[in-house]
Amino acid sequence: ATSPGMRAVSAARTEPLEKQKVEGPLGKRVASEASNVVLNTFSVLKEQVAGFRQSDRFFKYKAGIVAGWVVLSIASFAIACPGRSLETGDMDARLVLSDKLDRPSVTIWNESQDVWRDVTIIVNEQYRAAVAEVQPGNFVTITPKQLLGAGGVTAPADLRFQSLKMRSPDDNADLTQDLQVEWQRLLAPKK
């Protein structure tokens, strides 16, 4: 018993088909083969779509469930494991501003489990300091003497830290908001 949508087709040859050689430059031969691959792929996909259309609705439900599961799995993985971005990092840094306003300094603690390597600290968008390495649980203290501006000019000794960013090859952190909170804490009236 055969189903009405099925038919048998014979494609037997009496002798093997000779392979046609494409003459000419390499680009023309590659284009010819690429064209064959695209056409064959299109044909296979067309057959698969036709087979899917002829399947019963329960198979289509199952296929929809599997497709939904694949989409949700990929989305969950993308959300749970995002790549590191130089715009959203935080490096697990904690900032402490010196309470000696006449001798400004800022201490940055590495509260992560990773070693910070090749860190550049940018203060007020114009002064920079470089730190080779900060181990987990350790800190680095930055004073105006360590900060260099354009042309190698050192920062003024009474520099007020208004913005602070850190960058490394692996991550970055914008600690400006933490710096503002520290300033509010220092300038608040003592009780």
Q: Quick check: pTM over 0.85? A: no
Q: Which residue has the higher pLDDT, 64 or 82?
A: 64
**Residue length of the chain:** 191
Outline where DSSP puts E strands in 72-180: 93-97, 106-110, 116-123, 127-134, 139-142, 164-167, 172-174
Q: How confident is the model at residue 21 (pLDDT cuts 50, 70, 90)?
A: low
Q: Which residue has the higher pLDDT, 82 or 52?
A: 52
Distance, in Å, from the CA atom of 191 to the CA atom of 186, rounded to the nearest integer, reads: 12
Residue with tokens 């189903």: 3
Distance, in Å, from the CA atom of 1 to the CA atom of 64, rounded to the nearest integer, reads: 31
Average pLDDT over residues 140-167: 88
Helix, strand, or coil (residue 74): helix
